[in-house]
Amino acid sequence: MISKHLGALIFYKLAAKALRHESERRVKEQNLLYAAIAHDLKTPMTSVQGFAKALSDGKIKPDDQQEIFDIIYRKSNSMNDMINTLFDYAKFGTEEYTPDLTEINLCILIRDIVAENYCDFEEHQIDIAVAIPETEILITGDKNELKRAFSNLIVNIYKHNPDGIRAEIAVKQEHEKAVVRISDSGNAIPENMDVFEPFVTENTARTAGHGSGLGLAITKRIIQRHGGMISISKNEKDYTKSFVIEL
């Protein structure tokens, strides 16, 4: 029979070991985060430096200078977006972050996001079905942050899939929960891939114009901060995948 003192010592050692492993995991994740964002910033930063140097040295013809200025502007915007996204990811992972909670009609929020992206759905020839009730489904949350979370998922329909697919965005009340399902018939998510991990994209190519790989990680953190859950269903009728959000 293990004495109380020995049992307490074993518990302490196990707890210390678990804490150490978690600390090491967080440090490793943070190092990967910094390395990945530095890698993604290097290419546009090198381009901006090269173009700026060429302009400074007078190597760009006057007729071509406006095009170079436009390129520098676009690439600097891209770098700024990367840095802001990194800050947001870090912010949503801290205990100090607290959402600005108000009462929100989820139906209106999702309907507005769909409307804002309607032209993009048409441009990509996406047949989108919308099943949002006219009645209110009220939740408590930070409207701006939830809009960002849902926008990430809705924009991904045309951003990470081929043109001409079908999609559905549905909102409903299930008992005490508000449930949003965002489904599409586009690219299937590879097995054993956790798309909610930072810097993971469906094609694993962050620098090929497919995003930073932080969008879904930020979405998950926002949903969790609101006491909700997000999961992926791969067995949907007529669709290859469905993101399911419960609040």
Give a yes or no: residue 10 inside a domain: yes
Q: Note the pLDDT of residue 203.
A: 46
Paired tokens of 187: 């690219």
Q: Do the domain assignments include residue 97?
A: no
Of the three residues 72, 92, 112, the one that is the final residue of a domain is: 92
For the chain, 247 residues long, give each residue's pLDDT as a single digit of tens: 556 666 666 766 777 777 777 666 666 666 655 665 666 677 778 888 888 888 888 888 888 889 888 888 888 877 777 777 666 666 665 666 666 789 999 999 999 999 999 999 999 999 999 999 999 999 998 888 898 889 989 999 998 899 999 999 999 998 889 999 999 999 888 887 777 776 555 444 333 344 456 778 888 888 988 899 999 988 778 899 999 999 9
What's the domain range around 87?
4-92
Given 27, 58, 92, the domain boundary residue is 92
Residue 231: φ, ψ to 5°: -145, 170
Report pLDDT for 184. 93
**Domain CATH number, residue 56:** 1.10.287.130
Report the distance separating Cα 135 and Cα 107, nearest Å. 8
Q: What angle do CA 130, 234, 107 make, to 5 degrees?
A: 25
Q: How many domains in the chain?
A: 2
Q: What is the pLDDT of residue 209?
A: 42
Q: What is the pLDDT of residue 39?
A: 60
Residue 206: predicted pLDDT:
39
pLDDT of 32:
58
Q: Is 243 exposed, middle or buried (0-12, 13-18, 19+ CB in 10 A)?
A: buried
The reported pLDDT for the residue numbered 205 is 39
Strand pairing category for 241-246 and 177-184: antiparallel
What integer pLDDT is reported at residue 86 of this predicted model?
67
What is the spatial distance between Cα 38 and Cα 32, in angstroms, rounded to a whole number?
Answer: 10
Tell me the C-alpha distance between 177 and 108, whole Å: 17
The one-letter code for the residue type at 15 is A
The answer as to whether 57 is a domain residue is yes
Phi, psi of 134 (to 5 degrees): -75, -25
Whether this prediction's pTM lies above 0.85 is answered by no
pLDDT at 5: 65
